[in-house]
């Protein structure tokens, strides 16, 4: 992760100007995180599996003046994750400040039993 200026004018931590990747940003918690970060001035990249829903979200954020872009990615696929990281690296010129690994599921087992596929 790249270093960034984390203080706003009031001296408090701020994501203004930060670059952020939020996976699963078209609905639910991820959607709220994308909007909140962008409203606080971060530049956000997001992804989901549904192109139509992603496009609708990107259009809505653009109309609100928020800096959000994204692409389709199924994070279950290693190939698609690698493509996502290529896209994000190119878009942010290799500088990512914030990663919100939101798209996921609950697999309950001992931490040492998880595999790369999990």
Residues that bind ligand NAP (CB under 6 A): 23-30, 47-50, 53, 73-76, 102-106
- Looking at the Cβ atoms of 34 and 42, the one nearer to ligand NAP is 34
Query: Of 34, 27, 69, 79, nearest to 50 (Cα)?
Result: 27
- Looking at the Cβ atoms of 19 and 23, the one nearer to ligand NAP is 23
Q: Least distance from C-beta 115 to ligand NAP, angstroms? A: 17
Q: Least distance from C-beta 55 to ligand NAP, angstroms? A: 11
- Looking at the Cβ atoms of 47 and 96, the one nearer to ligand NAP is 47
Phi, psi of 101 (to 5 degrees): -85, 70
Q: Least distance from C-beta 42 to ligand NAP, angstroms? A: 18
CA distance 51 to 73: 9
- Helix (H), strand (E), coil (C) string for 3-54: CCCCECCCCCECCCCCEEEEECCCCHHHHHHHHHHHHCCCEEEEEECCHHHH
- Looking at the Cβ atoms of 11 and 108, the one nearer to ligand NAP is 108
CA distance 98 to 115: 25
Q: Least distance from C-beta 47 to ligand NAP, angstroms? A: 6
């Amino acid at each position: 992760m790249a270093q960034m200026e984390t203080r706003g004018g009031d001296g408090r931590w701020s994501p203004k100007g930060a670059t952020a990747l939020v996976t699963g940003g078209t609905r639910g918690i991820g959607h709220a995180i994308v909007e909140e970060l962008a409203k606080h001035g971060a530049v956000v990249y997001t992804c989901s599996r549904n192109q139509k829903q992603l496009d609708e979200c990107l259009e809505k954020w653009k109309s609100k003046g928020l800096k959000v872009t994204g692409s389709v990615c199924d994070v279950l696929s290693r190939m698609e994750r690698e493509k996502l990281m290529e896209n994000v690296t190119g878009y942010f010129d290799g500088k990512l400040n914030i990663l919100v690994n939101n798209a996921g599921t609950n697999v309950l087992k001992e931490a040492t039993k998880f595999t790369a596929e999990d």
